[in-house]
């Protein structure tokens, strides 16, 4: 277990350096906030907004920092040392960044930033959520940061449109909800984009998956098995999809469909398509279903859907059943059986009046393998099931677990103990590996007992 997880389990206070403006953790420093606000107002009067706006981000930050230091020495000569550096950093964040949360956005170890209220700002690190000690001055301060986020994106947020879901220029996903929908306070949730793509080696090191299962999944991708990755929010579905896609041969043409774009493939022949919301007049929306239908005319070898959310599920199943094998996609669900139910429900959203049996037959023939992910109490995201869609028995889709995580206990510091083990069941497509010239270990599907 990491030091951060250990501190969390022991109830230790959250480390204050991340975006902190306080000199004492756990106490809001009103004097410093007053100085920051005053210096911010002076900078607004001193700087030429148009000239600053025309600069690049790094140049703009440097110019504002120099101006802030000059003003601080002139207007507040008694402030010095660490406090001076903190004030300058915070003011620069206010002018060119995202205010109190900008330091967290720059911290590579922080994966998610959540603003619930002016004095409730949380962040996620290594799968664990911590309460930060930064805060906003008031709700107007939060709204100013929200405007700074949405304005460059060509979006608006007001009482008539109180919710925004968008992608920041760096690829991070942002969700914003304001009153009256969020009556307590405007809310900001930012899932940061990882510039470094995690590989299967990284996931093995993190405890997400074991080496013998990686070999099986690599063989499945090369065999063009249709794979559905399932899991709850924040379980690492997209990260796992990115890592799994590395086994797609470079010679294949891949089309990705997302809302918003998150999948970063390493192959040279990739076409990325992104859904688009309607404009301010309610026009111009392009859905994932529109993109999926169009992708079938683009001669794809494989289609990757970042997350199946609606009626595009029907077109996805059709594509898988009509020659576009080897497709990968993700879905929000807490178990393999729940994932199938969600796919069925999304097919019904297409309003095609198909009987249940017809939908389930299509699902069972299109999907071959399901990978279930979960985030455990120790913050580690793990593969819990690798399940084959075996066919139909009556009106029921039959599933059989090939691998399953078995928890054996909890460590002294809260670390989950256990391993993913084979159930001893061979997949019905096992003989296809040999036909394709793919060699798996003889004991790949042998049931294991013990640790």
What percent of the chain has pLDDT above 90?
55
**What local confidence, expressed as pLDDT, does residue 442 receive?**
79
pLDDT in tens, 276-312: 887 767 788 899 999 999 999 999 999 999 999 999 9
Instruction: Give the Cα separation of 136 and 94 in Å (integer).
Output: 11
pLDDT in tens, 188-234: 999 998 766 789 999 999 999 998 899 999 999 999 999 999 999 88
Report which DSSP code applies to 158. Answer: B
The C-alpha angle with vertex 427 and arms to 422 and 432, in degrees rounded to 5, equals 130
43, 67 contact by CB (below 8 A): yes
In terms of residues, how long is the chain? 451
For tokens 């076409």, what's the residue?
271
- Report the b/e string of 41-59 with b at 16+ CB within 10 A: ebbeeebeeeebeeeeeee
CA 443 vs CA 117, 210, 257, 348: distances in Å: 54, 15, 37, 41
Strand partners, 128: 125
Q: Provide CATH 3.40.50.300 ranges for the chain.
A: 200-435
Domain 200-435 sits in CATH 3.40.50.300 = yes
**H or E, element range at 31:** helix 30-46
Instruction: Give the Cα separation of 67 and 42 in Å (integer).
Output: 10
Q: Is the pLDDT of residue 27 over 70?
A: no
Q: How confident is the model at residue 83 (pLDDT cuts 50, 70, 90)?
A: confident
Classify 226 as helix, strand or coil.
Answer: coil
Instruction: Give the Cα separation of 42 and 34 in Å (integer).
Output: 12
**Directed axis angle between helix 211-222 and helix 237-245, to 10°?**
60
> Looking at domain 3-191, which of 3.40.50.720, 3.30.450.380, 3.40.50.2300, 3.40.140.10 is its CATH number?
3.30.450.380
Q: Provide CATH 3.30.450.380 ranges for the chain.
A: 3-191
Q: In angstroms, how far is the first alpha carbon of the chain from the final one? A: 18
What tokens were used for 309? 């959310």
């Amino acid at each position: 277990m990491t030091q951060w997880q250990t501190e969390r389990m022991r109830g230790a206070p959250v480390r204050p350096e991340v975006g902190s403006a306080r000199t004492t953790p756990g106490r809001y420093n009103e004097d410093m906030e007053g100085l920051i606000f005053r210096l911010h107002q002076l900078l607004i009067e001193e700087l030429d907004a148009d000239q600053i706006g025309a600069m690049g981000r790094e140049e703009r930050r440097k110019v504002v920092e120099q101006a802030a230091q000059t003003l601080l020495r002139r207007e507040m000569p008694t402030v010095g040392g660490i406090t001076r550096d903190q004030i300058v950093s915070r003011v620069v964040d206010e002018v060119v960044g995202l205010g109190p949360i900008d330091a967290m956005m720059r911290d590579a170890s922080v994966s998610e930033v959540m603003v619930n209220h002016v004095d409730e700002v949380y962040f996620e690190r290594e799968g664990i959520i911590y309460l930060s000690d930064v805060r906003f001055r008031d709700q107007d301060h939060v709204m100013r940061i929200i405007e700074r986020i949405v304005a460059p994106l060509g979006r608006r947020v007001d009482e008539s449109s109180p919710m925004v879901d968008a992608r920041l220029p760096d690829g991070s996903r942002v969700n914003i909800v304001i009153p009256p929908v969020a009556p307590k306070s405007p809310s900001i949730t930012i899932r940061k984009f990882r510039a470094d793509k995690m590989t299967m080696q990284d996931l093995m090191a993190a405890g997400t998956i074991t080496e013998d299962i990686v070999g099986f999944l690599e063989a499945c991708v090369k065999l063009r098995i249709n794979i559905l990755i399932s899991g709850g929010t924040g379980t690492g579905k997209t990260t796992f999809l990115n890592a799994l896609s590395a086994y797609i041969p470079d010679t294949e043409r891949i089309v990705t469909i997302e809302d918003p774009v998150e999948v970063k493939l390493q192959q040279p022949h990739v076409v990325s398509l992104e859904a688009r919301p309607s404009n301010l007049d309610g026009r111009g929306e392009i859905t994932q279903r529109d993109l999926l239908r169009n992708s079938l005319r683009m001669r794809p070898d494989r289609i990757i859907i970042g997350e199946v959310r609606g009626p595009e599920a029907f077109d996805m199943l059709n594509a898988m059943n009509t020659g576009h094998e080897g497709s990968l996609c993700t879905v929000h669900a807490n178990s393999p059986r729940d994932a199938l139910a969600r796919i069925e429900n999304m097919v019904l959203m297409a309003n095609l009046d198909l009987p249940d049996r017809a939908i389930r037959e299509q699902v069972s023939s299109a999907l071959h393998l399901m990978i279930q992910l979960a985030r455990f109490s120790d913050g580690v995201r793990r593969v819990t099931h690798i399940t084959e869609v075996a066919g139909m028995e009556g009106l029921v889709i039959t599933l059989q677990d090939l691998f399953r995580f078995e928890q054996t206990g909890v460590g002294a510091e809260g670390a989950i103990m256990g391993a993913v083990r084979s159930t001893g069941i061979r997949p019905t497509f096992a003989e296809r590996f040999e036909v394709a010239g793919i060699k798996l270990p003889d004991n790949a599907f042998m049931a294991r007992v013990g640790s």
